Structure 1
Amino acid sequence: MIEDKRWKGVYSFDDSPYLMEVLTELRDKETDSIAFRKGLVKLGRFMGYEIIKTMETEKVKVETPLEETEGIIVKDRRNVVIVTVLRAAVPLMEGLVKVFEHARIGIVSASRGKAPKFEIEMNYIKIPQITPEDTVIIADPMIATGSTLLRVIEEVKKYGTPKRIIVLGVLAAPEGITRIKEKFPEVEIFVTKIDRELNDKGYILPGLGDAGDRAFGAPIKLSTLPQVHTIE
């Protein structure tokens, strides 16, 4: 885990050969949906373990079958809220809950409009009440323009003031990170890798394409469906 010198509290995992290998498979345009989803689950789980390294621990006494010894508990691991940005973040959440099994789950449906405005439409918001002891992890694979996450963070703050807010993603563009940190400097960002830039359509380069479409298949346009004719 490496803290990026351009921002405070922004971490990537370029130092992990395992995560870089998983990311390489995700980038490959020949990777099918099943393998893509499995890759996101792997990233969510591994990055969850890394987040635990930043959490508070407490020493405890434990009785083995032979004698008493000292161990630890990770206190913050029991106070986690995972907010999943539909639909691409569902496999990431699956990986995270393998690590944070006590987590309460929030769901947000958010879609980004076309360039240049990139307006955000939110159709569904279901977030549990947040306490000052909670660590909120917002899972969204792609941090591109940052527009979606800015809206999601605003919504999260309506449900309470947590101990920490963490954004967890696969790829990020510098432009999106900068926008988030300018408005919410306290928010921490953990991503597998920070890519080069955005193109004029708001896609991350070199990127991996649309994570939702690659994980679950591209939506079918109504105009492409076969016409059904009835005989009277």
Structure 2
Amino acid sequence: MATCRIKFTLRCPSSDSQRFGSTCRLPNPSSPLLLNLTPASSSNPKKVSCSSARRRSFGTVRAHMATEEKPVSEDRMLVFVPPHPLIKHWVSVLRNEQTPCPIFRNAMAELGRLLIYEASRDWLPTVTGEIQSPLGVASVEFVDPREPISVVPILRAGLALVEHASSILPATRTYHLGIARNEETLQPTVYLNKLPDKFPEGSRVFLVDPMLATGGTIVAAVNLLKDHGVDNKQIKVISAVAAPPALQKLSEKFPGLHVYTGIIDPIVNEKGFIIPGLGDAGDRSFGT
């Protein structure tokens, strides 16, 4: 596992610039956290360094928040860490080792609802028209039910994160992917594939995986979507926690992809777990 060096560029007012990741208050909730991921020369896989002109140290991470506005290339992978306090709250509930299984699963579902809400901003197909209200004619805009959004949870833990998706999206289709990770090699194996033979042209797909750690599982899932007719820019990845190795791989392989995550943690250990992370999301969601 190679170490990676990450340069974070956040478009934040200087007075609000605080610390690493999602604690920065963005003026626009949909403003991206831009990642410039390049391999580092160090062989230590447990540390991540973030270089900049002005630095603040937080354990093994150094981060910088740039205030200048820069154009965002459509060919770059973008990572969004929405700064909503409820997102921070549910991530905190998930981190707590004392959180019991039912509350953990509910927290995962609530976090998924908020992340999908943020990810669907300016992305859903709509139709406009006029309707008769009780007091007059009103111009209206609806999400177009003729173009349902596809939701693809990666089993098992993805089921918990996507549990409330139907309460956010008026029209959805859910396709399940089962991908298991070998605990020794950390390589993914697909054991269930319920994707359609080919997604309709222009489909929009939410790919849901709570933990983006080493990147093997999510890369395999995106490749499967592409094999079934979905382009990078038609996919939005939803995760509870992400780490640099996974983001590195996604950035290299899938330009134009968008990732929405509750928080970015700096470390992946030798067993492929995110540190501090929140443990095994599947085990904690389902109590098995």
TM-score (norm 1): 0.86
Residue from 181, 188, 192 that aligns with 2:258:
188
Q: For structure 1, which runs of at least 5 residues remain unmatched after alignment?
A: 219-232
State the match for 1:206 in structure 2. 276
Q: For structure 2, which runs of at least 5 residues remain unmatched after alignment?
A: 1-28, 37-76
Q: Deviations over 1:168-210 (max 9, x none)?
A: 0000001111101110112210111111121121111110000
Report how many aligned residue pairs link the two structures. 216
Structure 1: which 4+ aligned runs deviate by more than 6 Å?
none
Q: CA deviation at 1:114?
A: 2.7
Matched residue of 1:40: which SS?
helix
Q: Which amino acid aligns with 2:133?
A: T
* 1:157 correspondence with 2:186: no
RMSD between superposed Cα atoms in Å: 1.9
Q: CA deviation at 1:133?
A: 2.5
Between the aligned partners of 2:34 and 2:221, the Cα distance in structure 1 is 25
Q: Which amino acid aligns with 2:207?
A: I
* 1:179 correspondence with 2:249: yes
* 1:16 correspondence with 2:84: yes
Percent identity between matched residues is 30
Q: Deviations over 1:6-34 (max 9, x none)?
A: 15421012x21111011111100000110
Residue 83 of structure 1 contacts residue 137 of structure 1 at CA under 8 Å; is this kept in 2? yes
State the match for 2:17 in structure 1. none
Between the aligned partners of 1:209 and 1:157, the Cα distance in structure 2 is 30
Matched residue of 2:168: which SS?
coil
- Choose between structure 1 and 2: higher helix proportion: 1
Residue 196 of structure 1 contacts residue 205 of structure 1 at CA under 8 Å; is this kept in 2? yes
TM-score (norm 2): 0.70
Residue 105 of structure 2 contacts residue 160 of structure 2 at CA under 8 Å; is this kept in 1? yes
* 1:66 correspondence with 2:95: no
Equivalences for residues 61-100 of structure 1 within 5 A? 61-75=130-144, 78-100=147-169
Residue 55 of structure 1 contacts residue 74 of structure 1 at CA under 8 Å; is this kept in 2? no
Between the aligned partners of 1:55 and 1:124, the Cα distance in structure 2 is 28
Between the aligned partners of 2:187 and 2:175, the Cα distance in structure 1 is 22
Q: CA deviation at 1:158?
A: 2.1
* 1:26 correspondence with 2:55: no
